[in-house]
Amino acid sequence: MGAFEYRQAQEIRDAFARHGVRYLFIGKSGAILLGYPDTTQDADLFVERSPENGRALVTALKELGFPLSAEESSEIQRGKDFVQIRSGPFDLDLVFAPDGIKRFEDAWKRRVDVEGFPVCHPDDIIRSKAAANRVKDRESLPRLRAFRDYWMSRRGPEGEKE
Amino acid sequence: MSADPEGAARRQWLEDFEAAARRPLDVRMKYAFIHTYKPVLDDGAFRAFETMADYRTWCERNLPSWLGYGRF
């Protein structure tokens, strides 16, 4: 398994758009898309939980080369809170109910578009990491919060730099 | 040694952010996504958890603590 590549992010974006999947990049992968300099292994996607979106998601994942069994497809379609896939062309975490974010729709309204990639607002990324309260999150949050302030200062109040 | 280690760290972060902002997205991603084997976590092809609490508990019970997935 190689590292997740820009080309694969584009493939996600394009396949999900073709099938109308509603999702957001979240976690450190989302922060990296926003410009946060750090390293990570996998792509984390916050996916809207609905029957239609679940079906579209499974179709898009299969098209991307994820070898999902009928049972695995069913679990994704149901929208279990957290799904981790390590059998596809790249490592992927699907999060249907991230800690600290009550509704997908709220995060969707606050989303940031980065070259066509829908990304959670840094405040939502921070909120979810703070709520998860893991050792690795606690260690990374001060730097991530500093990045959020930097990003906001560049973006301006109206988001004119996005 | 810096008299203000916290301030020095913040200045370094700011330099990192500025440098990253100058790189195009594809280059940022090339340097950011690195595949590093994580024991146990990477040994299963597929896992699904009914709730986030189930996932967090599984991590704490099964992953080596040094991976940092344990909660405070």
B20 to A5: CB separation less than 8 angstroms, yes or no: no
Q: What is the 3-state secondary structure (H, E, C) of A123-151?
A: HHHHHHHHHHCEHHHHHHHHHHHHHHHHH
A vs B, Cβ pairs < 8 A, gives: 129
Find, in chain A, the residue whose alpha carbon is nearest to that of B69: A134
Measured between beta carbons, the chain B residues lying within 8 angstroms of A29 are 33
- pLDDT tens per residue, range B9-35: 999 999 999 999 999 999 999 999 998
Distance (Å, rounded) from C-alpha B32 to C-alpha A44? 14
Cross-chain CB nearest to A133 (options B38, B67, B72)? B72
Let me know how long chain A is. Answer: 162
Where are any strands of DSSP class E within A1-159?
23-26, 43-47, 82-85, 92-95, 112-114, 117-119
Pairing verdict, β A43-47 and A92-95: parallel
| A46-63: average pLDDT | 97
Is residue A46 a contact partner of residue A98, using CB atoms and an 8 Å limit? yes
Q: What is the pTM of this model?
A: 0.93
Residue ranges of domains in chain A, CATH in brackets: 6-155 (3.30.460.40)
Helix (H, G, I), strand (E, B) or coil at A12: helix
> Does the structure show a pLDDT above 60 at B53?
yes
Distance set, CA A62 to CA A65, A67, A69, A154, B68 (Å): 5, 6, 10, 38, 31
Q: What is the DSSP letter of B42?
A: G
Q: Is the pLDDT of residue A64 over 80?
A: yes
- Predicted-complex ipTM score: 0.90
For residue A25, what pLDDT is reported?
Answer: 98
